[in-house]
Amino acid sequence: MALNADAISQQSLPKHIAIIMDGNGRWAQARKRPRAYGHKKGVDSVRSAVQFCTKLGIESLTLFAFSSENWRRPEDEVSTLMELFLFVLSREVKKLHKNNVKLKIIGDISKFPESLQAKVHDAHALTANNTGLTLNVAANYGGRWDIVTAAQSLATQVQQGDISVADITEDALSERLTMAEQSPLDLLIRTGGDYRISNFLLWQAAYAELYFTETLWPDFNEEAFSEAIACYISRERRFGCTGEQIQQLLAESKSTS
């Protein structure tokens, strides 16, 4: 079935995509390099994913950068991740701003160094009014933490007499979760070959399509991303689409812009 740009963009594409970026360490180890090298190469894939979503007109992209469980990793790896995070915030935010991308760091950043927290606040302020892609970066984030924090907010309101227990509904809790103001999650991708969501967006993923791939994150290029979206389209809209068709759509859009 032939697909035109309008058919895909208006009816079929996910509005909100989330990715568990797994496999950086294994990618590096397979090349006899330190795990830190894999994390640095993974930044290239982040850039590619952001550019791809921007071209397709995706509303929100959420990336799992550092989970609340990642503190258990070796100290030197955690230190490298913090340094890389600070570097990316320092070097990439202006580029994101130039391309009308709104950056949001979701998670409990209070455990991060003050210098990193300051960079996060600066990035939020700089990109707050942008109207293009919203890029959510989950840092020290956990799905259970997200739900518990929302529940605590509701409990506090009950305790203060602002609401009653009967007012605690799914909608009320959902409104207090991170990214509540954004479109519901449509597609959750995990790279690296594992088949679990690892405490990521537990509430938000309730009705999302799940896509797992053996591809390690540094190798997750535009073609691999196209295949993930093509799979989503075939499930969600009941008509087939290939990664090549997605690429053709991008080429057609570029030629007419």
pLDDT of residue 256: 60
Supply the pLDDT for residue 86: 73
CB atoms within 10 A of CB 140: 20
Q: Is 70 a catalytic residue?
A: yes
Asked whether residue 97 carries a pLDDT value surpassing 50, the answer given is yes
Q: What is the mean pLDDT of residues 52-64?
A: 95
| Residue 115 binned pLDDT confidence (cut-offs 50, 70, 90) | confident
Please determine, for residue 69, whether its predicted confidence score (pLDDT) is greater than 90: no
**CATH superfamily label, 12-256:** Decaprenyl diphosphate synthase-like (3.40.1180.10)
pLDDT of residue 88: 77
130 in catalytic set:
no
- Structure confidence at residue 253 (pLDDT): 59
Question: What is the rounded CA–CA span in Å between residue 157 and residue 151?
Answer: 10
Residue 67 has pLDDT above 80, yes or no: no
Task: Quick: pLDDT tens for 187-218.
Answer: 999 999 999 999 999 999 999 999 999 999 99
Among 22, 16, 24, smallest CA distance to 64 is for 22
| pLDDT score, position 202 | 97
Catalytic residue (one of 44, 70, 130, 140): 70
124 is in an annotated binding site: no
153 assigned ligand-binding residue = no
Contact predicate 213/230, CB 8 Å = no
First to last CA, the chain: 25
The token pair at 81 is: 């991740």
pLDDT attached to residue 112: 84
Annotated domain spans of the chain: 12-256
For 40, other C-beta atoms within 10 Å of its C-beta total 18
pLDDT, the chain, mean? 87
Q: Per mean pLDDT, which range of 16-30, 191-205, 225-239 is the poorest?
A: 225-239
User: What is the rounded CA–CA span in Å between residue 52 and residue 47?
Assistant: 9
Q: How far apart are CA 89 and CA 69, in angstroms?
A: 22
pLDDT higher at 131 or 257: 131
Q: Which residue has the higher pLDDT, 256 or 74?
A: 74
Q: What is residue 227's predicted lDDT score, i.e. its pLDDT?
A: 95
The candidate with the shortest Cα–Cα distance to 154, out of 141, 173, 181, 171, is 173
What percent of the chain lies above the pLDDT cut of 70?
A: 82
Residue 39 in marked binding region:
yes
Out of 4, 22, 194, 199, the active site residue is: 22
Say if residue 73 carries a ligand binding annotation: yes
CA 119 to chain centre: 19
168 is in an annotated binding site: no
pLDDT band at 9 (very low <50, low <70, confident <90, very high): low
For residue 84, pLDDT beyond 90? no
